[in-house]
Chain A
Amino acid sequence: MKTVIETKDLTKIYNSSVAPVKAVNKVSLDFVEGEFTAIVGPSGSGKNTFLNLIGGLDKPTEGQVIIDDTDISGMKESKLFDFRLKNIGFVFQSYNLIPVLTAKENVSFIMLLQKESKAKMEKRAVEMLEQVGLSEKLNSRPGQLSGGQQQRVAVARALASKPKFVLADEPTANLDTESAFNLLDIMSRLNKEENITLIFSTHDQRVIDRARRVITLVDGAVSKDEKFESRK
């Protein structure tokens, strides 16, 4: 299996007024193509910081993040913008769709920034919205959708541009049980069908139970790294 993400002694230290805080402490991990991983841990354990580092949203104090053989740790911001755009999909806790765009336009948005052709963009957006069960809501704006539906649009947006991996920051935290299961079903299916690497930061047991790999962070360091290959 091909390694998509590799971290080497990844460290992030925040300088607080009292004392420096090691949010991530020498984390070395590999993520291979098609993995469904949950990063878990108590609040302040460094889950979000780790996700920000591997997503190129934040810069490490020490160590490296290598994505598809490219070290992004020292990359300039302008190059990182392009790198993220082409390689990484994001799903956020609060959906974060663009309120003035329709579901179809939201899904097309990343592809538009990638300068895809209009026809290809339209086709892929419709296809993705069908896959997340929202073919009836192509022209609805986020305000006209439920929380679960908005999160499904966010997933479609993240996956539409066929990124190398998707980072999901507590995607089910604001959803009721039915919507959460529905979303997880969709994400699991897409993970298998499109072989997309999914990395979740989560507290949600429903997500943890679905993940085939669960990494537990405590005080910024890896305390457990478990694999559950039998999970489908």
Chain B
Amino acid sequence: MKTLITLAWRNLWRKKRRTLITVSSVLFAVVLAIAMMSLIEGTRELFIDSVVSKTTGHLQVQDVLYHDEPSMDHTLEYGEEVKGALEKYSDKIDYTVPRIQGFCLGAKDIGTRGVMVMGIKPDIENRMNNLSSWIVEGKMFSDKDDYAVIAEGVASLLELSIGDTIVLIGQGFQGMSAAGKFKVGGILEFPMPEQNNTMVYLPLKEAQWFFAAPERLTNLIIMTENESDIEILAKNLSDELDDEWFAVKTYEDLMPDVLTAFETRDAQVRLFSWILYVVVGFGIFGTIIMMIHERLREFGILLSIGLKRTQLAIICLFETLFISIIGVVSGIIVGFPIMYWLNRNPIQVGDDLAEIFYDMGFEPVMPFSIAPDIFIYQAITIFIIAFVVGLYPVRKVFKLDMINAARN
């Protein structure tokens, strides 16, 4: 086998220029494919990190009707059943984030504004999305406080400052009116306009009192230990909780439109990468055809003097694999530092596009991932292509008429 491999390796360098051109084509395709896959994966990571982790969480437990009709009447009781189920699967759960939220009317003097009132536990919310980091004035409340922290857009529209009072009016639990006055103790400035123009935060207890829904939540967010646990944990909790009252939703259930947009874009990129793979495949195939046809006579001789067809086929297959290995390895060697640099220094997108990114809840950057899977996937894909291409010379060898080949 060693001799066959040596022969294959040396054959590769009989026409150095041609081999190098083929290797280069594989290299560029690998780098380009890695870049595309890295962008897809990077966007997904950013989505999970900046949107999922900071808004919906990995999973949510809700009242069974809340997703379709989000109202205070469809809040869930955070009681023994839910706590027991969470306890049972605590090994997969990193932490939970309780929230109660509802649309209300916010007012000061004669100015009114539709706002989203969200009752939170500040410590755990900070752990999830570092909410306090957006404070630009005043300070974040603690669980024991009773003041509100509002977004800068709300403050601006209602002309509210620290120490002013915001009046909130909305619908409470089971037909109760939700009405209250809260001092403004802090102002947050969010980059995303939708969030910046609507959010009003209250301590969880205050919000439950405001909505007349003590011990009730609109959603209980669950952050898993590992992203890979999301699906299985969702199933486990669904099995554990009474489906007449509770629904367990993954972030995919909660943001189907965004995910569909991602999937469409991913499909386009994947299609483009497959076109690239086809081009690479034909590039290698062209070289292999030339390498085989100009050596048919030599093949005939080798078979005549005693080399077996399987041995000759192995030589040919190794030649194809060597080209691919060199191309893939050099592609990864070139591609990894570029992706690493882009991962550390994401490309900032332009102003117009940045707005779109903000609207979707993203930082306006093009993120690149350096997850090992991306590189492994490229390597495996190119090897599969090379192997398929390598079957051509194998077939040729097994069908070769050695007398004609040796004579001509």
Binding site for B on A (CB under 8 A): 48, 52, 55, 57-58, 78, 81, 84-85, 90, 92, 96, 98-101, 109-110, 112-114, 157
Contacts and interface: CB of A to CB of B under 8 A. Distances in A.
B307 A96 contact: no
Contact of B3 (A55, A58, A81, A112): A112
A174 B362 CA distance: 75
24 contacts: A48-B407, A52-B403, A58-B403, A81-B306, A81-B309, A84-B304, A85-B305, A85-B306, A90-B304, A90-B305, A92-B301, A92-B304, A96-B297, A96-B406, A98-B7, A100-B10, A100-B11, A100-B13, A109-B3, A112-B3, A113-B307, A113-B308, A113-B311, A157-B305
Contacts of B403: 52, 57-58
Q: Which 9 A-B pairs have the closest CB atoms?
A: A85-B306, A100-B10, A96-B301, A113-B306, A81-B308, A90-B305, A57-B403, A84-B306, A112-B3
Contacts of A110: 305-306
Contacts of A52: 403
Interface of B: 3, 7, 10-11, 13-14, 297-298, 301-309, 311, 402-403, 406-407
A101 B406 contact: no
A81 B400 CA distance: 14
B402 A98 contact: no
Contacts of B7: 98, 100-101
Contacts of A92: 301, 304, 406
Given A55-B304, A96-B406, 8 more contacts: A81-B303, A85-B305, A92-B304, A96-B297, A96-B301, A100-B10, A100-B11, A110-B306
A213 B3 CA distance: 39
A84 B191 CA distance: 80
B116 to A, nearest CB: 73
A83 to B, nearest CB: 9
A101 B10 contact: yes
B179 to A, nearest CB: 90
Nearest to A167: B304
B340 to A, nearest CB: 38
A96 to B, nearest CB: 4
Contacts of B306: 81, 84-85, 110, 113-114
Contacts, number: 50
A113 B165 CA distance: 94
B10 to A, nearest CB: 4
A186 B307 CA distance: 26
A23 to B, nearest CB: 12
Contacts of A90: 304-305
Contacts of A112: 3
Contacts of B402: 57
Contacts of A48: 407
B204 to A, nearest CB: 76
A123 to B, nearest CB: 18
B235 to A, nearest CB: 55
Contacts of B406: 57, 92, 96
A114 B307 CA distance: 10
Nearest to A141: B10
A101 B11 CA distance: 9
Contacts of A157: 305
A58 B14 CA distance: 31
Contacts of B303: 81
Contacts of B10: 100-101
A83 B33 CA distance: 50
A52 B405 CA distance: 13
A110 B297 CA distance: 18
Nearest to A89: B305
Contacts of A113: 306-308, 311
A114 B306 CA distance: 9
A66 B356 CA distance: 85
Contacts of B298: 96, 98-99
Nearest to A55: B304
A58 B7 CA distance: 27
B231 to A, nearest CB: 52
Nearest to B7: A100
Contacts of A57: 304, 402-403, 406
A52 B300 CA distance: 13
B327 to A, nearest CB: 21
A226 B4 CA distance: 44
A101 B406 CA distance: 19
Nearest to A108: B3
Nearest to B11: A100
B220 to A, nearest CB: 69
A80 to B, nearest CB: 10
A155 to B, nearest CB: 13
B308 to A, nearest CB: 5
Nearest to B307: A113
A75 to B, nearest CB: 14
A77 B7 CA distance: 24
Contacts of A109: 3, 305
Nearest to B9: A100
A99 to B, nearest CB: 7
A103 to B, nearest CB: 14
B302 to A, nearest CB: 7
Contacts of A58: 403
A123 B406 CA distance: 30
A113 B309 CA distance: 12
B12 to A, nearest CB: 9
Contacts of B305: 84-85, 90, 109-110, 157
Contacts of A101: 7, 10
A157 B302 CA distance: 12
A58 B308 CA distance: 16
Contacts of B14: 99-100
A55 B302 CA distance: 14
A113 B14 CA distance: 23
